[in-house]
Structure 1
Amino acid sequence: MWWLARSLWPLQLKAGYWDVLPALRDASRCAEEAGADGRTAGALHSQLAHRLGEMGRWEQAHRAARAAVTYERAAVHLRGEASAVELLGLLSLYRWSFEEAYERFTEAESLYRGVGVDEEGAADLPRALALVTRHQGRALRCLDRLDDSRRCLESAVDFFAGRTGAVPEPYNHARALTDLAETLHDAGDDTAALARITEAERLSPASATPHRAHLAGLRRRCEAP
């Protein structure tokens, strides 16, 4: 059951398929009752928190995310703890608590940087740092720190485009381009924003329905008189 629930993550994140809450609740409860290892319990509670956040059930989502942090910390799994703290930042971002979100993202970055070169998760560290840098850029935009936001998001775009030697990731490249377009639009540079939107649209598959709908709305805002 635990692994089945974990396998739902791509459906949640990339395909926008959200009707998975009963499975995640059952799996998280079973992880607690059956004494699953801290990493498994932490991962399931993070997944549950993400789903609850998408539904706007903020208090429940925060409880699940805090439980994830507790499980990962008890398991001395620094990589997992950092990811759970990052999720707390995302939940704060979605609730418009932008300063708190930025603080959590900064805390997550510090935890990621504490992962030793020989520890599990070290190989994925550059990617994790690129993701949290992207989220920092999102929070900074909402704090009206547009220059700082642009620097963070351009760094994330470069990483996911493969310009720093990493393997290109079209999905995350498109998401980072979308965030950068948002910042450029807020800064009044709609020409540059529209160019980033076009790039993001080219990278986004037809199955990425929520993202493509967001891009369409952003394009309309940039093209409005």
Structure 2
Amino acid sequence: MYILVALADVVQIPPSDFHKSSIRAIEDFINTKYADKVIHKIGLCVGFHSLISASEGLIGHGNGIVNVNVDFRMVVFRPFKGEILRGTITHSNQAGIYISMDFFEDIIVPPQLLFSNTTWDKDEEGTEAFIWRSEDGEGGFNEFFFDKAEKVLMRVEQEQWNDLSPQMKRPDDYDMERRDEYGMKLGPYRIMASMMHSGLGPSLWWLGEEAAAAEDEAGTNGVDDMEVDAAGGAEV
């Protein structure tokens, strides 16, 4: 789910930060610039990890800002294809199911990546949702609902990238309210996921309510294992 990525940049330390240690000032600058931002074809930056190297600081003419060339590592969110992720259904429509991981919300499960015999329909209360109808072995069907706010497990199937930097955009592309075929705003990074295999979908289907609640609590109190992979450096 997480990787380490080596990056290079010029850190600018203003005089107001001279009271900090050098490493603290560098770390604060990098976190302010990169945290919670997507780097194209790299992933969502989570936070500073470690400093690889730093040059001597050069004081800018007339402003007192110290410029330092640094190489550093960032923790980046970028799950691999086939990885199982945990999230929460935020809403659904006929285009698909939209899922949030709290810190990342550009995840969608389109209808073709749900269990076979899943349809967009109304439940007993008249609320529209995707419903999976599974044969019960006695000629009938059991109904399972992809309800809003359900905790789910999903499988990563595809990444979608959009380079939103000004030099890559045409004049008619600056309408940030424009919606795509899923009704979503254009974003730099999106995950297409599936829920079409045993064990995927709402946790309570497979575990029962008590076990699902206990697992959610354990996931909240625990810390996910971090999978670290030294990726190639990318200069920005």
TM-score range, shorter chain: under 0.3
TM-score between both structures, scaled by the size of structure 2: 0.22
TM-score between both structures, scaled by the size of structure 1: 0.23
Greater RCO, 1 or 2 (C-alpha within 8 Å, sep 6+): 2
| Higher Rg | 2
Q: Return the structure number with greater strand share.
A: 2
